Amino acid sequence: MATMTISLPDPMKDWIEAQIKQGEYASTSDYVRDLVRRDRERRAKPELTLEDLRRIVDESRASGPSPRKVRDILARARTHVQGDPPPDV
């Protein structure tokens, strides 16, 4: 494993040390590895542009009201959050 030396302002260093003391991380290296993993995951997902959001809103308005009941929409959302594939409805 490679070694890297970094410099941080005291408040950042104190923050990391507090996370370690609270048991959130085993070491400074563990904390930094977690930050890098999260950053890589975040960057792997494409971000929506303002134009994308406008297009989505326009398409949703053009499609009209949903024939689904609110309880069905919420059930589908819960299923999605749990990681199960949503039913084709």
Confidence of residue 37 (pLDDT cuts 50, 70, 90): very high
Q: What is the pLDDT of residue 31?
A: 96
b/e per residue 36-73 (b: at least 16 CB within 10 A) = eeeeeeeeeeeeeeeeeeeeeeeeeeeeeeeeeeeeee
- DSSP assignments along 42-57, one per residue: HHHSPPPPHHHHHHHH
* Beta carbons of 76 and 86 less than 8 angstroms apart: yes
* Count of domains observed in the chain: 2
Q: What is the pLDDT of residue 1?
A: 87
Q: What is the pLDDT of residue 15?
A: 95
Question: Based on the domain organization, do 64 and 39 belong to the same domain?
Answer: no
Could you list the residue range(s) of the whole structural domain that residue 22 is in? 10-44
Question: Based on the domain organization, do 40 and 54 belong to the same domain?
Answer: no
Question: Based on the domain organization, do 21 and 40 belong to the same domain?
Answer: yes
Q: What is the pLDDT of residue 80?
A: 84
Does residue 87 sit within a domain? no
Does residue 30 sit within a domain? yes
Minimum mean pLDDT range among 2-6, 10-14, 44-48, 54-58: 44-48
Question: Based on the domain organization, do 36 and 15 belong to the same domain?
Answer: yes
